[in-house]
């Protein structure tokens, strides 16, 4: 058993630990919402269906991811919306988009262009951050195993005390 756990530990160190979970990454460029659905640590979620909900929870549009797991959507109004994706086997991911900022007037169009350009440049960086956050970390794994040992140890202690008093 100890050898087996050692092999497992090696496996974990050798490959980056991954979490199997549907993730949704959403950004806003001007009035358009674009995003990507993917399985944490795995590939893109291709061709899965999602929906856009308004603040009352009503479906206002349906979405489907393309071959790269990406989708685009332009909301009709500025109201906050929620985007929800679900794969057939019971995974679900949700993202909320707050107030949508539209260009206030044509005179500041160049500012808006700049903002859009910056947002586009930042998108891959944000996606990477999002991915990193969803990874299981080695410290979490070791901490979890420690908790299990402690928990069962404490239970064994309680049980052994009960045995002595009776």
Partner 1 sequence: MAHIPDGVVSVPVLVAGAALSVGGMALGLRRLTPERLPKAAMLSALFFVASLVHFPVGVSSVHLLMGGLAGILLGWAAFPAIAVGLVLQAALFGFGGVVVLGVNLANIALPATLAGLLGRRLLARPAVAGAVAAMGAVAGTAVMVALSLALSGREFLVAGQALAVTYIPLMAVEAVATAAMIGLLAKVKPESLELRP
Binding site for partner 1 (CB under 8 A): 1, 4-5, 8-9, 11-12, 17-22, 39, 41-46, 86-94, 134, 136, 140-141, 143-145, 147-149, 151-153, 155-156, 159-160, 163
- Integer Cα distance of 28 and 126 in angstroms: 12
Q: Is 163 helix (H, G, I), strand (E, B) or coil?
A: helix
Bridge partners of 28?
33
Nearer to partner 1, 93 or 97 (CB): 93
Nearer to partner 1, 26 or 93 (CB): 93
Bridge partners of 35?
26, 71
Nearer to partner 1, 2 or 105 (CB): 2
Bridge partners of 130?
none
Nearer to partner 1, 79 or 136 (CB): 136
Nearer to partner 1, 15 or 110 (CB): 15
Query: Closest separation between CB of residue 32 and partner 1, Å?
Result: 26
Secondary structure of 79-147 in HEC code, one letter for each residue: CCEEEEEECCCCCEEEEEECCCCCCCCHHHHHHHHHHHHHHHHHHHHHHHHHHHHCCCCHHHHHHHHHH
Query: Closest separation between CB of residue 8 and partner 1, Å?
Result: 6
93 contacts 23 by C-beta, under 8 angstroms: yes
In the structure encoding, which two tokens stand for residue 34, read together? Answer: 């674009």
Query: Closest separation between CB of residue 21 and partner 1, Å?
Result: 6
Query: Closest separation between CB of residue 106 and partner 1, Å?
Result: 42
């Amino acid at each position: 058993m100890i050898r087996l756990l050692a092999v497992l530990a090696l496996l974990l160190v050798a490959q980056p630990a991954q979490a199997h979970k549907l993730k949704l990454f959403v950004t806003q460029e001007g009035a358009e919402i674009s995003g990507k659905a993917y399985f944490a640590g795995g590939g893109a979620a291709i061709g899965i269906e999602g929906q856009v909900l308004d603040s009352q929870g009503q479906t206002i549009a349906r979405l489907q991811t393309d071959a790269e797991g990406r989708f685009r959507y332009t909301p009709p109004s500025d109201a906050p919306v929620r985007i929800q994706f679900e794969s057939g086997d019971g995974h679900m991911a949700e993202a909320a988009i707050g107030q949508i900022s539209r260009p206030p007037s044509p005179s500041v169009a160049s500012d808006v262009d700049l903002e859009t350009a910056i947002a586009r440049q930042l998108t891959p960086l944000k996606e990477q951050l999002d991915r990193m956050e969803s990874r299981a970390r080695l410290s979490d794994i070791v901490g979890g195993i420690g908790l299990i040992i402690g928990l069962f140890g404490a239970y064994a202690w309680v049980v052994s005390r009960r045995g002595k008093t009776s």
